Chains A and B, each alone.
Chain A
């Protein structure tokens, strides 16, 4: 966030008697007023803490099989019950947070980085470059995303890391298009014109002026995309294409326990709940960020 200088220029025409806040602080002010967004952030922070301190707070390891204690209902000793290997579900869900957040964060980081770069190039240079890149995005978006992910994993072989790569790939066009459209408008701004007029190099204009001014929508899209990425990772693992035994990925936990849905509903309820909560958290957070960062939404 070091490069926020250009944005200051945009906001200089504030009324002089009002205290001038930096745009980020102003966004934060707006964000704090949004109760749902705060709930979302709470949920996300909660899961991040779970992931970080999993080793400390989780009562058991991820693969402590006790076949004598299988499929036990939730109780004081096993808050979320045990699965069909007699493993503590609570512990697995806590460790599962690591996997889901890790996949969500890095998949989105990857797709955001590549997507933004391609989007900036397409938007800034236009013409043939734009046509080629945009058509590739169109082709990728023409596939149902999960199908594309399955295809990618089929080529790479099933594993969590490959699932992450697949999810990163399928989300590239979302970021690409967003950034491209943003760049199209930013490059018409006077400060970009001015930079160009003084003979600044393209790369400097892109990374020092265009990118910082496109950051807000990337952050919003990124937050929302983490939610989707976590869902997609769960779906791939459910299909046996993501996490492999004994990794406690939530989608895999669902898949492994689905035959016990009547006999031991807690084995599917809690992993499902964990997925739902994280996804909900990231979506609320993302929506809140959009409201706070979008200049058009300002009062």
Chain B
């Protein structure tokens, strides 16, 4: 009978233990996240729970969102995005002018701003930072290369020179107009760091960051927490409100939710859509939804049989019921996608008629393409939750079923995440689930990056090629006039819609959970939030 008891125990373990799969690894020694009862002037400590630790706190050198979440609060950029959009507004620069030929930008800097180490912020500091980046290499400053086309001496490098006109005026000369220049300048990687600290710290700067931001770096225990304290001399009058912010890494989504419910943390991102209801039903908690600046899609590798046939790709597009997907696996917090970029992005073509969910139409198209009896293909599903697709496996199962309705037999496959990306990038998948979160809110950052033939082998995983589209996208890159540029992008989206290299699925609004005491928090579409205006009551 011993065996029976053991087996029973094992079943219990299976059904309960693994299912709950929780338990936070350690308790924060900082005694909960509750604020003092200080009334309106309440400062307090906000504990932000997230899925992973930062890589480095030198924003110029990293690419991961978990690093930017922290550096955004330690550093400022010359320009910043709006609280919940990507319109540029003043930050360290109070004013900026563009020459008529679009090749000279002059920034007027904010006076009286000091870095956390007490040194002055001025034009020389800005020049120092840009010189540092443009003399670097791809390994050190990936985003600089990807946004400004290379480094000093490179053919594609956009910035000719950065010079200090006087203490508080900086002039950028470009080799050719770059339409999204201001949006690029506002990106987290291009935050201005203290030149003095950069000199002193050298390689260690990433562990001892010094900026001008609302919070001052205090300490970092790897894979556990990062502590930031209030910058008492922040240039924005009366801000920040919080006394300190602690970023804690709790990898498992359910464990993080448990920590939130237990009061160990005050705010968490990566809330499972299936848990949204539970948080909303809890009077002590509230949910936030990040405005959508992403797209989740099914890529149809367009150089593989039979997906190289446009009609087949269109047929598959007709076979997907996006709204049902959203209701089921996004807790309704997403909108169906018809274009490769979300509607908040300038240049979005709302005239496009989406491929409606119509199985008869899909079958007709398959018949026309000569695949009346359907075909077999692989359908890859990502193994990890992503902001644009919290549960790829489930989405894949729904798609598998939808495709089966029109005779397409899809086999779901999955690999470990890094392998998945590598194999998909190599064009080894027939169809694959993937997505993209915008970096700077510009159309170029979606259409060119994801679908231009230049980026095959990089971010264009579908191997989709179209010369006409390529010409449009390249032209748009150096067209400073907003209206004209948007027209080019509208046209580009029509071509993409017709060729259907993807099934655009959703633009999701990733969910966050927080204590109901949090006020003034608005999640930013880029995924990293400035906590300057947040209070705990």
Interface residue ranges, A against B (CB under 8 Å): 63, 65, 67-68, 70, 84-85, 224, 227-228, 231, 234-235, 238, 240, 244-246, 251, 254-256, 258-263, 268-269, 271-272, 275-276, 279-280, 283-284, 286-287
Distance in Å from the Cβ of B393 to the closest Cβ of chain A? 7
The docked-state distance in angstroms from the alpha carbon of A224 to that of B10 is 15
Residue among B3, B10, B11, B400 facing the most chain A CB atoms (10 A cut-off): B11
Q: Is the CB of A245 within 8 A of B396?
A: yes
Residue among B7, B327, B400 facing the most chain A CB atoms (10 A cut-off): B7
Q: A259-B275, A276-B11, A279-B11 are in contact. List 9 more A-B contacts (CB 8 A).
A: A65-B401, A70-B328, A254-B18, A254-B19, A256-B394, A259-B272, A260-B274, A263-B274, A283-B3
Closest chain B residue, CB of each to CB of A276: B11
Q: Indicate whether B344 reaches chain A with its CB closer than 8 angstroms.
A: no
The docked-state distance in angstroms from the alpha carbon of A259 to that of B15 is 12
Q: Known A67-B327, A67-B398; judge A280-B19 contact (CB<8 A).
A: no
Q: Which residues of A contact B275 (CB under 8 A)?
A: 259
Q: Which residues of A contact B18 (CB under 8 A)?
A: 238, 254-255, 258
Q: Which residues of B contact A244 (CB under 8 A)?
A: 412
Interface residue ranges, B against A (CB under 8 Å): 1, 3-4, 7-8, 10-11, 14-15, 18-21, 254, 272, 274-275, 277-278, 321, 324-325, 327-329, 393-394, 396-398, 400-401, 412, 414
Q: Which residues of B contact A268 (CB under 8 A)?
A: 15, 19
Q: Is the CB of A245 within 8 A of B8?
A: no
Q: Which residues of B contact A246 (CB under 8 A)?
A: 397, 400-401
**Contacts A/B (CB < 8 Å), 19 sampled:** A67-B325, A70-B328, A84-B274, A227-B3, A235-B14, A238-B14, A240-B414, A245-B396, A251-B14, A254-B15, A256-B393, A256-B394, A259-B274, A259-B275, A262-B278, A276-B8, A280-B7, A286-B3, A287-B4
Distance in Å from the Cβ of B341 to the closest Cβ of chain A? 26
Closest chain B residue, CB of each to CB of A257: B19
Q: Which residues of A contact B327 (CB under 8 A)?
A: 67
Q: Which residues of A contact B398 (CB under 8 A)?
A: 65, 67, 85
Q: Which residues of A contact B20 (CB under 8 A)?
A: 258, 261
Q: Is the CB of B397 within 8 A of A68?
A: no
Q: B-side binding surface: helix, strand, loop or mixed?
A: helix
Closest chain A residue, CB of each to CB of B276: A263
Q: Is the CB of A275 within 8 A of B397?
A: no
Q: Is the CB of B254 within 8 A of A254?
A: no
Distance in Å from the Cβ of A251 to the closest Cβ of chain B? 7
Q: Known A67-B327, A262-B278, A263-B274; judge A231-B10 contact (CB<8 A).
A: yes
Closest chain B residue, CB of each to CB of A66: B324
Of the candidates B14, B21, B328, the one whose C-beta lies within 8 Å of that of A275 is: B14
Q: Which residues of B contact A254 (CB under 8 A)?
A: 14-15, 18-19
